[in-house]
Amino acid sequence: MTKFLLDGTVVHGQQLGRQLGFPTANLDVAHLTGKLPTPGVYAASAVLDDGRHFRAMVNIGFRPTVDASRHTLSVEAYLDGFQGDLYGRHLSLTLLHRIRNERKMSSLDELQDQLSADLLEVRKLVTA
């Protein structure tokens, strides 16, 4: 896979990831720098504006399980091991491996189970 580098500012989302146990940093897509790859779930390396590095699970797409309109593109990253507030901060993501296509799950429980499986895959593919 060609590596993609995405840079942007973290903005507020719907906070659904937090409810599922996977709080995400949503990037401001309107001001994102970098070319977007095909929608899907990616294993990535994340760097915060303070220089800290994290392994990341990134979803790029239209969130079909939770957004019925499927018209709003989002880029959201779960930073493995991060705790705290990222709103307004700069985040750089290097997409390293494509894990799977984005797809609609039948329930939030199924989505949560899939996110857990995706995170295990990210942990295998990306060193912290």
pLDDT single digits (tens) 71-92: 778 899 999 999 999 999 999 9
CB contact at 8 A, 102 and 41:
yes
CB contact at 8 A, 41 and 63:
no
Q: Which residue has the tokens 């906070």?
A: 15
Domain borders along the chain are 4-125
Taking only the tens place, the pLDDT of each residue in 87-108 is: 999 999 999 999 999 998 998 8
CA–CA distances in Å: residue 91 to residues 3, 65, 79, 113, 115: 16, 25, 10, 26, 21
Length of the chain: 128
Taking only the tens place, the pLDDT of each residue in 22-62 is: 899 999 988 887 778 999 999 999 999 999 999 999 999 98
Q: Which residue has the tokens 């799977």?
A: 100
Architecture of domain 4-125: Beta Barrel (2.40)
